[in-house]
Amino acid sequence: MYGMYGRSFLTLLDYSPDEIRALLDLAADLKAKKKNRLPHRLCEGKNIALVFEKTSTRTRCAFEVAAADLSMHPTYLDPKSSQMGKKESIADTARVLGRMYDGIEYRGFGQQIVEALARYAGVPVWNGLTNEFHPTQILADMLTIREHLGSCAGKKLVYFGDARYNMGNSLMVGCAKLGMHFTACAPKEYFPDAALIEKCRAIAAETGATLTFETDPEKAVADADIFYTDVWVSMGEPAEVWEERIHALLPYQVNEKLMDLAPRALFMHCLPSFHDLGTEIGREMHERFGLTAMEVTDGVFESDRSIVFDEAENRMHTIKAVMAATLCED
Ligand code: CP
Ligand code: NVA
């Protein structure tokens, strides 16, 4: 569909602004069909493999429900039970899966792994999160912003926290592609990689987007439409880094005081989130450092300005659009 048939979806850098908007339109259309109970079995009889080397709630469920709605059969390979990487190379795994499946989702570590899968599989490969990028999350976020604010272009999104990792990187790319104003607010060492900033600046010059990097939260918040944050320690990072992250990033916590500085800003988070003591890690950090919340306070998370569960739902509609566009010829 829309010239995307047979393509992989590894990073938004590979998709033009028009293609991203087409995916969002398709997602909105499929969402309306689902709400109206209109069948959309666009991929009848196809099979997909869902390879997860890291854990997941939203992404796995989104792929499985979307596959069922499109009339496809998914096979889930969990972080431990396949041969991939340990007994079989990525290239060999890709060629085996590509003989059996019409598409492959991969969640794991380095971006080079999902790229190798795509090079060898011969079928579309979709990035369900790597250390560097989380592109299906960004589609969900952009659909959510469109639903709440009417459009993405011209809106200002401020990302607080570890902006060097998958969410900071991918939001910067997505904002550049869609003509948004992206601000990363963090200590300097947590800003995205200089080469990626350079690439995004070139995209922004074409789309009217702007990119800014700010260490002072009070300066970053001016005219913000969206505050976005993510966990301070990502999957696959060693537990020992919690202490240094808490010290470095606590001044960038999204709390009521920060929200008060930007009266129209909505709150977004890819989830999962440490906003209370309802998690093992949250309770451990409470015992060690006395914190009751980390990257966002419970008051902000539970407030009317928080649209995090709209984002979570939109994971399914946008992932469905990516699969339909890359698996259907027209
Ligand atoms: N946001 C997100 O990717 O969530 P999961 O880790 O639960 O898939
Ligand atoms: N940065 C987080 C995102 C989770 C959706 C992680 O990689 O764990």
The domain locations on the chain are: 12-133+315-327, 156-224+226-263+266-304
Q: Does domain 12-133+315-327 have CATH number 3.40.50.1370?
A: yes
Catalytic residue status for 134: yes
Q: Please report, in tens digits, the pLDDT of each residue of the chain (330 residues total).
A: 889 999 999 999 999 999 999 999 999 999 999 999 999 999 999 999 999 999 999 999 999 999 999 999 999 998 788 888 888 999 999 999 999 999 999 999 999 999 999 999 999 999 999 999 999 999 999 999 999 999 999 999 999 999 999 999 999 999 999 999 999 999 999 999 999 999 999 999 999 999 999 999 999 999 999 999 999 999 999 999 999 999 999 999 999 999 999 999 999 999 999 999 999 999 999 999 999 999 999 999 999 999 999 999 999 999 999 999 999 997
Catalytic residue status for 25: no
**Which ligand has its closest atom nearest to the C-alpha of 309?**
1
Cα separation, 65 vs 54, in Å, equals 19
Catalytic residue status for 107: yes
Catalytic residue among 21, 60, 315, 317: 315
Let me know if the fold of 12-133+315-327 is the same as that of 156-224+226-263+266-304. Answer: yes
Cα separation, 66 vs 298, in Å, equals 31
Which residues form the pocket of ligand 2, taking CB atoms under 6 Å from any ligand atom? 129, 165-167, 230-231, 234-235, 270
Query: Which pLDDT score, from 0 to 100, does residue 9 have?
Result: 98
Query: Which pLDDT score, from 0 to 100, does residue 170 have?
Result: 98
Pocket test of ligand 1: the residue of 54, 58, 78, 131 to mutate, having most ligand atoms within 8 Å of its CB, is 58
**Which ligand has its closest atom nearest to the C-alpha of 168?**
2
Query: Which pLDDT score, from 0 to 100, does residue 284 have?
Result: 96
CA of 235 to the centre of ligand 2 (A): 6
Query: Which pLDDT score, from 0 to 100, does residue 2 have?
Result: 85
The CATH homologous superfamily for domain 156-224+226-263+266-304 is: Aspartate/ornithine carbamoyltransferase (3.40.50.1370)
User: 272: cis peptide before it, omega within 30°?
Assistant: yes
